[in-house]
């Protein structure tokens, strides 16, 4: 275990340095959102997009958006940030990179404005702590995590409240299909999502307010989850902090592997987003379960462990604590395989022993759900039992209608009954369950960990990428299809044009405040 962590650190450090030396359009837009810039034009293009694009077209983003933007305000180009963005969208603002006294004044004003957003995040974290103290946490773990997403936020709200009444502890509003590939965050309340509901600041606010009502009604704090991934990862993380979301899907490689987003863009964006999550007290959920939808759950088990170790390193480097690491893994072995249940136990127990303080996120079967709802219901029961036996922290409720339809309320009710039965009957089984050291379960766990160490060693010692534009071994491994059988080279993928190498005098008060722990 010590060697695995040491190798993960060696693999991750060069990528962190890469992230430190670059910025992206979304990091800069997130900084403007912290400064209070909101709203969009008549075509629903956010003002943060207009202002960042105007600065980039005029003087570039190598120095950050803040210096030229607040210098323009200091020079009287506009009375406030919103008006500046509006004028900039019409090409009516002259930007420059300020020097000497003008630079100092611009930097001071930008820091003051951005610090206001950081203080809002701090207040929201304090409010969460107060409400948890008032209403209490769920009485037992794992916390029950249920997805609600109709596409219409006003339909999501009553469904989420009803799910909480039926036992859900965490409500996840899954995003509309394709939102991760939008390079802007939609504005306002939305009612026309596709297989999900758009992640917007207003939708966050509406659902959080509704679940606060449910928390008061039920006497336990109901948590809210959304997705900080895709091309707007830093902005969505920022909006989540401002509106007091409690968990966010945030994986270091998911967007690279499954949405073909450029690796450099993803690693830069995820570092900033995780710094926001750390400050906001948000628990992240990583996406290792997705690997097993494209690769075999037995043969690729060690790649899940490697990803968990890398996610842990990247998260802690960004400031997240153990209690914020909802590292993902899944119940995805073909049930026709002999001893499949025992192998699932081995994988789940390995994750729990590797990350004893983390609230692991245990994901239900999807790949081998056939449409036979009776078989699926039984398989979900086995999944719930593994969660009980291995002390998982967050259990995503499996649906027997997986691969058939988007679940109805009645489907969710039956699924929650399944969870309640298993947890009531066997919730404390983790106290009694100790597989023998030389049995199949422990032997399999040792095998997977050994294979994970070997793979990390291969990644760290690989020299094939040297001489390329990005010689980091981890980037070479991703390009070779090591994870999820997806080959993603660092010079391709969506969003590459939004990556900028920082100048020596780059200034971003959000990054500075987050790394300093400052409030002003």
Structure tokens at 406: 């988007």
CB proximity list for 331: less than 8 A, separation 6 or greater: 344, 348, 362, 363, 364, 365, 382, 383, 386, 398
Q: Nearest CA to 474 among 278, 273, 306, 265?
A: 306
What is the DSSP annotation of 362-430?
EE---TT--S-HHHHHHHHHHHHHHHHHHT-SEEEPP-TTTTTSSPPHHHHHHHHHHHHHHHHHHTTGG
183 is catalytic: no
> HSE (CB half, 13 Å, CA atoms) of 91?
1
Place of tokens 């060690």: 302
- 289 in catalytic set: yes
Distance CA 239, CA 397 (A): 26
The count of other CB atoms within 10 Å of the CB of residue 198 is: 24
CA–CA gap between residue 426 and residue 205 (Å, rounded): 37
**254 belongs to the catalytic site:** yes
Count of C-beta atoms within a 10 Å radius of residue 134? 11
Which of 156, 246, 251, 289 does the annotation list as catalytic?
Answer: 289
Rounded distance between C-alpha atoms, residue 410 and residue 424, angstroms: 21
Which one is catalytic: 145, 198, 227, 254?
254
Task: Find the DSSP H helices in 187-295.
Answer: 201-218, 233-242, 254-259, 263-280, 291-294
Task: Given the residues 198, 361, 377, 380, select the one marked as catalytic.
Answer: 361
- Residues with catalytic function: 254, 289, 361
């Amino acid at each position: 275990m010590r060697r695995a962590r040491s190798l993960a650190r060696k693999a991750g450090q060069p990528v962190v340095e890469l992230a430190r030396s670059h910025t992206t359009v979304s990091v800069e837009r997130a900084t403007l959102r912290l400064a209070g810039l909101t709203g969009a034009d008549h075509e629903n293009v956010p003002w943060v997009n207009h202002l960042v694009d105007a600065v980039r077209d005029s003087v570039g983003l190598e120095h950050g958006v803040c210096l030229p933007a607040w210098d323009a305000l200091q020079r009287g180009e506009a009375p406030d940030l919103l008006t500046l963005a509006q004028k900039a969208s019409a090409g009516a603002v002259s930007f420059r990179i300020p020097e000497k006294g003008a630079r100092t004044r611009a930097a001071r004003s930008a820091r003051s404005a951005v610090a206001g957003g950081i203080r809002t995040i701090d207040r929201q974290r304090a409010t969460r702590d107060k409400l948890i103290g008032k209403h209490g946490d769920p009485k037992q773990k794992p916390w029950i995590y249920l997805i609600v997403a109709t596409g219409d936020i006003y339909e999501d709200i009553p469904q989420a409240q009803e799910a909480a009444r039926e036992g859900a502890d965490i409500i996840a509003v899954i995003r509309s299909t394709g939102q991760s590939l939008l390079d802007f965050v939609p504005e306002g309340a939305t009612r026309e999502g596709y297989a999900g509901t758009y992640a917007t600041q207003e939708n966050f606010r509406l659902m959080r307010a509704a679940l606060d009502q449910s928390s008061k009604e039920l006497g336990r704090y109901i948590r809210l989850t959304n997705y900080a991934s895709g091309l707007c990862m830093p902005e969505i993380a920022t909006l989540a902090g401002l509106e007091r979301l409690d968990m966010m899907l945030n994986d270091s490689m998911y967007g690279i592997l499954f949405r073909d987003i450029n690796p450099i863009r993803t690693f830069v964006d995820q570092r900033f987003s995780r710094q926001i999550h750390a400050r906001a007290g948000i628990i992240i959920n990583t996406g290792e379960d997705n690997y097993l939808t494209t690769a075999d759950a037995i043969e690729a088990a060690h790649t899940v462990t490697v990803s968990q170790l890398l996610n842990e390193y990247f998260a802690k480097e960004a400031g997240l604590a153990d209690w914020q690491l909802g590292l993902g893994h899944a119940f995805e072995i073909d049930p026709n395989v002999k001893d499949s249940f025992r192998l699932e136990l081995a994988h789940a127990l390995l994750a729990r022993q590797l990350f004893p303080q983390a609230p692991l996120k245990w994901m239900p079967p999807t790949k081998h759900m056939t449409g036979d709802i009776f078989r699926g219901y039984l398989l979900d029961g086995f999944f719930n039992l593994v969660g009980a036996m291995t002390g998982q922290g967050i259990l995503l409720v499996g649906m027997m209608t997986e691969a058939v339809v988007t679940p109805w309320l009645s489907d969710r009710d039956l699924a929650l009954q399944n969870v309640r039965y298993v947890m009531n009957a066997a919730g404390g089984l983790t106290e009694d369950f100790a597989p023998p050291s030389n049995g199949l379960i422990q032997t399999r766990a040792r095998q997977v960990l050994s294979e994970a160490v070997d793979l990390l060693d291969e990644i760290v010692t690989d020299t094939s990428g040297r001489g390329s534009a990005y010689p980091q071994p981890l980037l070479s491994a991703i390009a070779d299809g090591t994870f999820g059988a997806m080959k993603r080279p660092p010079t391709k993928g969506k969003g590459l044009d939004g990556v900028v190498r920082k100048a020596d005098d780059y200034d971003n008060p959000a990054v500075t405040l987050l790394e300093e722990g400052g409030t002003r």
